[in-house]
């Protein structure tokens, strides 16, 4: 082969490799964007799950607090009723 043929073959191979490299870079960028989208989606799902768990815990705490308040109010009412009954009995005895 002559030098010209080698040079032509080299140039053709070089162009082919440059084209392939460019295509691979584009494909790589597309894959990176898809991966980023998937990561963001996973983060959103995990964040949503965590928020739901947090909200459920907060609701449970609120229910417990309301139950405690209700029990407190009932005890207070019972105490007041007992005091009133005691006062009534004292008045009756007098």
- Kindly indicate the confidence band of residue 94, based on its pLDDT and cuts at 50, 70 and 90: low
pLDDT, tens digit, 9 for 90 and up, residues 40-56: 999 988 888 888 888 88
Determine the Cα–Cα distance for residues 63 and 17; give it in Å rounded to an integer: 68
Q: Which residue has the higher pLDDT, 86 or 26?
A: 26
**3-state SS string over 9-77?**
HHHHHHHHHHHHHHHHHHHHHHHHHHHHHHHHHHHHHHHHHHHHHHHHHHHHHHHHHHHHHHHHHHHHH
Determine the Cα–Cα distance for residues 89 and 79; give it in Å rounded to an integer: 15
pLDDT, tens digit, 9 for 90 and up, residues 70-80: 888 888 888 88
Determine the Cα–Cα distance for residues 68 and 62; give it in Å rounded to an integer: 10
The pLDDT of residue 79 is 86
Q: What integer best gives the mean pLDDT of the chain? A: 89
Q: Quote the pTM value.
A: 0.50
């Amino acid at each position: 082969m002559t030098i010209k043929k080698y040079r032509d073959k080299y140039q053709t191979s070089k162009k082919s490799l440059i084209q392939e490299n460019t295509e691979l870079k584009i494909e790589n960028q597309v894959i990176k964007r898809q991966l980023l989208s998937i990561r963001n989606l996973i983060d959103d799902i995990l964040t949503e799950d965590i928020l739901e768990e947090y909200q459920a815990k907060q609701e449970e705490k609120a229910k417990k607090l309301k139950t405690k308040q209700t029990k407190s109010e009932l005890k207070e009412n019972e105490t007041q009723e007992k005091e009133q009954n005691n006062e009534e009995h004292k008045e009756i005895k007098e």
